[in-house]
Amino acid sequence: MTGRPGRSGRGAGQAGAGDLLELVRSGRATTRGALQQATGLSRATVGQRLDRLFRAGWLREGAGGPVGSPLGGRPSVTLEFDDGHAVVLAADLDTRHARAAVLNLTGEILAEHSGTLVVEDGPDRVLGELGRWFAGLLRKAGRGADEVCGVGLAVPGPVDPDAGRVIQPPIMPGWDGYDLTGRLSRALAEHAGVPPVPVLVDNDANLMAYGEQRTGYPDCSAFVLVKVSTGIGAGVVVDGSVYRGIDGGAGDIGHIRVPQGAEALCRCGSYGCLAAVAGGGAVARRLAEAGVRAASGSDVRDLLAAGDPRAAALAREAGRLVGEVLATVVTLLNPGVLMIAGDLAGTPFLTGVRELLYQRALPRSTARLEVVTSRLGERAGLVGAGALVVESLYAPERVEERLRALGV
């Protein structure tokens, strides 16, 4: 194979160490001979560039032993990305609950914690507590503060991807424009002794979609995940990358106006939003009005798990409302997979989605569409946040920069 070896866009004979690392990580070339064929580099040049990656501790020889050389001659030793040379910290915030984890560089969770964290308490308190959680998780995983290479944070609001800040979040009072990366970095230094590392922030539905698509549907070129918890949001992955729009607002379907919600006041301040009539919070309010104890999407989830018929009926009705909106989404994007996730992602809600989706969408748009529920469950945001960090830090152009910083 010749031509472009990786995302850097450099042609044959111009591949750097970062391009070689990407070829190994992706499994497209895992021997020195295969790397020569893929890049057009000489054997000596491949050896020099691989040597830098070995000295950085990012590559190792494979456990499987030598394999036949594509160029003939002696068997070639396989090469592997060393997924244990560093770790990633990841956290996924919901409105009243959070999960945090230490992951290796291929997404395996080494230590995990979940508990109550209320976003309405504000970013200073929430991020400070996350710092304490991460300190305990590093001890539990048996990893040192100096092994952390980056942090991924999923939040339930729109995020400007360039600034790494939440922008006008409807359900996160006090978080608008706040310096999340700086505060979390200080909390990590204070509680866990972690030196300054990159902190990447994104919307929770985006990162859930990214984690689910990469692990379960890597060949799907157009993937949509809809998270229905207290609110409603969507993540879209196109050609392996999260689609965020021009300033991080893509996928905010919970604030599409629907006729059925004309009198419903949304937390964003508008009337008629989909989330105001079909989100977990809206279903919880209707249950509470009927005398059932429910205050959030997680309460609805528990009632559904217990087989409560009132919760099931309202969840199916909410699914029909969401399905009507998704008919437009599916017609516009023509995805191969539509995944329903979050607190309401059970059979009643999914049944309601399918009823309206297949009624309203063009048959051509749904002919090859898979409508599924989450595979990763509550860990999807963590896996996506970890993958976001790894893909950023080990992108070919970033590899070159980091190797120079290490002096190799």
The string of DSSP codes covering 187-242 is HHHHHH-PPP--EEEEEHHHHHHHHHHHHH-TT-SEEEEEEESSSEEEEEEETTEE
Query: For residue 2, what pLDDT band results from cuts at 50, 70 and 90?
Result: very low
Q: Which bin fits 267, alpha (ψ -120 to 50), beta or left (φ > 0)?
A: alpha
The architecture CATH gives domain 218-376: 2-Layer Sandwich (3.30)
Going by C-alpha positions, the residue among 162, 214, 192, 201 that lies closest to residue 375 is 214
Domain 17-81, what fold? Answer: Arc Repressor Mutant, subunit A (1.10.10)
Does the pLDDT at position 8 exceed 60?
A: no
Number of residues in the chain: 408
**Residue spans per domain, the chain:** 17-81, 87-206+381-406, 218-376
- Is pTM beyond 0.85 here? yes
Helix (H), strand (E) counts: the chain: 14, 14
**Which residues have CB under 8 Å from 185's CB, separation 6+?**
194, 196, 197, 199
| Domain covering 87-206+381-406 in this structure, CATH number | 3.30.420.40
Give, as one character, the DSSP assignment of residue 263.
T
Backbone angles phi, psi at 68, to 5 degrees: -60, 135
pLDDT at 96 over 90: no
The amino acid sitting at 263 is E
Is residue 217 within 8 Å of 198, Cβ to Cβ?
A: no
The fraction of the chain above a pLDDT of 90, given in percent, is 84
Nearest to 52 by CA among 402, 365, 358: 402
Q: How far apart are CA 334 and CA 324, in angstroms?
A: 15
Weakest-pLDDT range from 60-74, 88-102, 222-236, 308-322 = 60-74
Dist. CA 60–CA 313, nearest whole Å: 55
What's the average model confidence in pLDDT over 279-296?
93
The C-alpha atoms of residue 340 and residue 304 are separated, in whole angstroms, by 15
Q: Is the pLDDT of residue 1 over 50?
A: no
Domains 17-81 and 218-376 share a fold: no
Buried b (16+ CB within 10 A) or exposed e, 7-33: ebebeeeebbbbbbbbbbbeeebbbbb
The pLDDT value given to residue 247: 87
The strand pair at 337-341 and 222-228 is best described as parallel
